[in-house]
Structures are given as structure tokens and as C-alpha cells.
Amino acid sequence: MVCPVNGARPVSEFVCWGEVRLMLDPNAVNDATWADYVFNRNSVPDIKREWWCHTPSNTWFIAERNTQTDEILQTYLYNGDAA
Amino acid sequence: MPFRLLRFALSGKYPEPRMFRDRNRLKSSYDAVIVGGGGHGLAAAYYLARDYGMTNVAVLEKSYIGGGNTGRNTTIIRSNYLTAEGVKFYDQSVRLWQDLSQDFDLNLFYSTRGHFTLAHTDSAVRTMRWRAEVNKHYGIHSELVDADGVKQACPQIDLSCGGHAPILAALYHAPGSIARHDAVAWGYGRGADQQGVEIHQQTEVLGITVKAGRVTGVETNRGEIATPRVLCAVAGFTPRILQMVGLRSPLSIHPLQAMVSEPMKPWLDPIIVSGSLHVYVSQTARGELVMGASLDPYELHSTRSTLEFAEGLASHLLDLFPFLSHVNVVRQWAGMTDMTPDFAPIMGKTSIDGFYLDAGWGTWGFKATPVCGKTMAYTVANDRNHELIQDFSLSRFANYRLVGEKGAASVGH
């Protein structure tokens, strides 16, 4: 896996933190919508944008990965675009 | 023996009876369709036919029966769980297992070995004691044993684990067993087939028709079927089926790998599990060691194997049994597990009439095969959740009523 700061490193140095999602405002939504946000996931194989962390350097970044073939298409630092 | 083998070469037709009939034609409608010909789906088909007289049932399997997680797990059967719901449910399952060979007239090689979950830290010892007390309360034979007790049952073990994770105690669960997993699928398949259930292999579900909140049919690669009831029992493929009916779930798909050693003389009687070292191991009737560890750490819809896994598992196994350093690994494989956030399954009715779910079995589904079949058959036949699975419904997440079964797979969480 290629860390945007440290370059190519063994995948065991990285932790995946799940798909990039926009956090809902818990005060603005009802319980059912909040439960959907908290628990439900889109687990159909696809090309997904995910949060990853290079743990030795604590670099958080985004990886675009095919969850069926495990191919990493690109990695880049978060640029404020969460959705 | 050579003459018996010769028969297979000379005979134009396969000379032995098949386990079940090969159906060459899909009917246009069934009373129920079961998606997934693994242990759970076939067990549900068997009990639907046997206990509820529903025989106009089709089991659709996109590959071959028992080729998914039923044939990929490490075959451990136990009921030493942590929550009341879990303990009651798995205890039923262990009881069903014990009579299954006779029910089927087929040797499942069901072998009661005793199951040790090793504790290497004080906090693990506390959890083991907690689990032992919950188990005893429900009449299940579990107890905390000290390190000497472990050594007595398994003299080959290195109690110091190489010096860095000494074994302090263990949760001993006497009914812990192993069984031959392929035979479970074949047994249920044959039993269901004999009662008229149709098993269709190489039949992939491409879509499920829902009209006005009710299931009306299934679209397959071999044509369309009309049916009022669909049971989905497809483990790692569940999110794809749920997408067809527009349901969302908390499932996350991770590969779980395992491997097996070359055969050895029998030396390991009990099943040994260590949560801290992420390893579980048992010796089969053929003498191979079957070994597993924890999940791969991120979502992946694939059954590929990795060298990291084999290296990690081997090094932990050597901590427990240093003398295995010369033993070869002969096979390594993976299955796709459907994990839930509370380590309990998702079973029963859904918000779509006639669509029943048996999923979320993650890393612990094999041991529950008989009881899942029984309770899902009840649920499908009566359109009402069986009392043992009421706490496992998909709606528990929306209602914030999670189960919290951390004893689920002993390792990795």
C-alpha cells in the first residue's frame, strides 16, 4: 500500500477505518435514521473510498480500493471532501 | 478393493447411488425457495419437509452444495457462550448434533473432544470464570481449570508459551466436539431430497421480485420462479442478495483463513483455543491438524490466501507446541464471513413479507447448523419467528437492542 506521505509500505502497517461517509447531525435526525447511520453499511463489493491509517506515522488518508479484488486504485490525503 | 475401483472405470454409468438426485429442470413455482445450498439452507429444507410437510421447495446453489463456508470452517462445535440468548441457542444445537448421525444414517465422524479456551492474562481468567458461571447456570458443562488441568489433558503443550504469554488457566467445555463438515451438507441434502425437496446446483439467483412489500418470485440464470417465500442463507453473499430486495444491514464481509497440516499419529485429543495468541487447533480423524486464527482485518469479498496469515498462525502455534516446527502445512484456504457489530446472527422475518434471513453467522455458523435449520424452518412454515431466535432479528439494530455476544468465536474480538 502506498502511503501519501511515506510511500510504499507493507500492508501490515496500515489499518482500515471503513468507508468515507458524511456524519449526520445526531440532533437533527430521528432515531431510525441515526441507527441506519450508526449500524448499517454498504457491504456490496464495489470500488470504495475508505479511511486508512499508516500506524507507525499516524498518517490518515483516503484509499480508493476495489473490495472484490483488493486492488488499490489510488491513495491521497484528505482534502475536505467527505461525501 | 481394486475390483470395486475397476467398476468405476468400466461402467458407463456411475455405479454407486448418488447422495441426491440431479434435477435438470426448474419448476415454474415453488411453495418456498431457499437461496444457498450450504449447511444452513439444506438443514432448513430438511426440517421444512420433515417437520412441516413442505416438500414443494427448491434449494438454489450457485456453485455446488457445501462448497462455501460449510466446507471451509474448522468444524468446532460448542456452546460455552457468554449471553443467555447465545448459551440457550447453541446448547440446543449441540444436542441436535449428537443425534444427527443416526437421523441421517450417515457417519458424521462426530467426535466429542473437550474444548479448552486458554487464558494468558488475569482479565482473560475473569472472563473465563464469568462464562463458566453463565454456562453452569444453564446446565452446560463448563468449568475453569488451572494450568495443571490443561497440562493433564494435553501433555505436549508448552505452558509458558515460549515465555511471553504463560497459560494461567482455561475454560474447559466438555461437550466441545468436531464433525466432518462435508457430510453435514450431504446428510441434510440427501434427507431433504428423499422427501421431495429439489436441490439445484449451478443455479445463481440474479434477482428477487418484490411487489407491494411481498416476495413474489426469484429470477435465476436458469429462468424465473414464482414463490411466496424466500429464505436467504448465503453467508458472505448476503449483502448482494439484500441489495436485490432493497434492505440495508450492518453486515461487513471479511475473509477468514484456515490451514491444515500433514497427517500425524493421533496426539492431540482436545480442541485448543487461545484468544490472546489468535489460534485454534484440533486434530481430525485423519490425523491432520486443522488450524485457524482471526479474521483478515479489512473488508474483502474474496477467498484468497495470504502468506502473512500462514506465517502468523504458524508462529503462534509454535508458541503452544514447539515440537511442530518440522511439520508441513499442506493446504490453506479462506471463507467469506458476514460479521455483525454485536457478534450475534441476524435471523428471522424481515420488513418484506415472505423474505426470511439467516445471516450474520460470521465465524461461528457451522456449530449452529442444525438449530438454525430447525428454527428457520419453523419461521418459514409459520411466518412467525421461533422463540429461540426472537432476539436475533434484523430490526434489533433500528431498536438499539444489540445482543453483545463476545464469546462468539473465541479469538479475534
The chain B residue lying nearest A30, using CA atoms, is B398
To the nearest whole number, what is the mean pLDDT of chain B?
92
Closest Cα in chain B, distance from residue A25 (Å): 17
pLDDT of B407 over the 70 cut:
no
A29 inside 8 A of chain B by CB? no
pLDDT of A13 over the 50 cut:
yes
pLDDT tens by residue, B86-106: 888 888 898 899 888 888 888
What DSSP assignment string belongs to B82-95?
Answer: SSHHHHHHHHHHHH
Average pLDDT value for residue range A22-33: 92
A45 inside 8 A of chain B by CB? yes
pLDDT score recorded for residue B171: 96
pLDDT score recorded for residue B239: 96
pLDDT tens by residue, B35-87: 999 999 999 999 999 999 999 999 999 999 999 999 999 999 998 888 888 88
Is residue A36 in some structural domain?
Answer: yes
Percent of chain B with pLDDT over 90: 78
Is residue A82 in some structural domain?
Answer: no
pLDDT score recorded for residue A5: 96
Q: Where in chain B is the domain with CATH 3.30.9.10?
A: 112-175+252-339
pLDDT of B20 over the 90 cut:
no
pLDDT score recorded for residue B56: 96
Pick the CATH number of B112-175+252-339 from 3.30.9.10, 3.20.20.70, 3.40.50.300, 3.10.105.10: 3.30.9.10
A79 inside 8 A of chain B by CB? no
Average pLDDT value for residue range B394-402: 92
pLDDT tens by residue, B184-226: 999 999 999 999 999 999 999 999 999 999 999 999 999 999 9
Interface test with B, best of A9, A39, A52 (most B CBs within 10 A): A39
Instruction: Give the C-alpha separation, A48 to B69, whole Å.
Output: 25
Interface test with A, best of B253, B298, B346 (most A CBs within 10 A): B298
pLDDT of A82 over the 60 cut:
no
CATH number where A13 lies: 3.30.2270.10
Instruction: Give the C-alpha separation, B208 to B188, whole Å.
Output: 25
pLDDT score recorded for residue B410: 45
B300 inside 8 A of chain A by CB? yes
Instruction: Give the C-alpha separation, A18 to A65, whole Å.
Output: 11
Q: How many A×B Cβ pairs under 8 Å? A: 55
Between A31, A32, A69, which is nearest B302 by CB?
A: A69
Confidence band of B270 (pLDDT split at 50, 70, 90): very high
pLDDT of B413 over the 70 cut:
no
Closest Cα in chain B, distance from residue A81 (Å): 22
Percent of chain B with pLDDT over 70: 97
Q: Where in chain B is the domain with CATH 3.50.50.60?
A: 25-72+182-250+342-408
pLDDT score recorded for residue B353: 96
The answer to whether B210 touches B245, Cβ cutoff 8 Å, is yes
Is residue A83 in some structural domain?
Answer: no
- The pair phi, psi for residue A59, each rounded to 5°, is -90, 115
Whether the full predicted model's pTM is greater than 0.90, yes or no, is yes
Is residue A81 in some structural domain?
Answer: no
The answer to whether A29 touches A37, Cβ cutoff 8 Å, is yes
What DSSP assignment string belongs to B25-55?
Answer: ---SB-SEEEE--SHHHHHHHHHHHHHH---
pLDDT score recorded for residue A81: 67
Instruction: Give the C-alpha separation, B125 to B172, whole Å.
Output: 12
Number of domains in chain A: 1
Interface test with A, best of B243, B251, B295, B299 (most A CBs within 10 A): B299
pLDDT tens by residue, B352-382: 999 999 999 998 899 999 999 999 999 999 9
Is residue A8 in some structural domain?
Answer: yes
Q: Residue A28: give the domain boundaries.
A: 2-76
Instruction: Give the C-alpha separation, B410 to B363, whole Å.
Output: 10
The CATH code for residues B25-72+182-250+342-408 is 3.50.50.60
* B223-226 vs B214-220, strand pairing mode: antiparallel
pLDDT score recorded for residue B412: 39
The complex's ipTM works out to 0.92
